[in-house]
Structure 1
C-alpha cells in the first residue's frame, strides 16, 4: 500500500516537473538536429497537423 502511494506521488511529481519545464525541455530536444528532423517527420504524419501546416505555408 505504501509503495503504491509512493509510486503515485513520484509519477505525479514527475508529471508536474515535465509540465513546469516543458519549454526548456522542448528547446533541449529540438536543439539536436537529428531529433528535430525526427519530430518534424513524425508530426507531418499526423493529418491534422499536416493540413494546418500546408494551409498556412501555401496561403494564396
Structure 2
C-alpha cells in the first residue's frame, strides 16, 4: 500500500532535482581542482557529496 503511493507520486521528468544537480556540479568542480594540482580527487569528491547532502 505504501509502495503503491510512493510509485504514483514519482515523476520521471523530475528525477534530476536541485540537490542532485548541485551535488554533481560540486563534485565536478572539486575533482577538477584536485586533478589540476595533482592531488587525490577521491577525498574532495567524498567531502563535496557529504557537505551538499
TM range (shorter): 0.3 to 0.5
Q: Higher Cα Rg: structure 1 or 2? A: 1
Q: TM-score, normalised by structure 1?
A: 0.36
Which of the pair is proportionally richer in helix?
1
Higher relative contact order (CA 8 A, sep 6+): 2
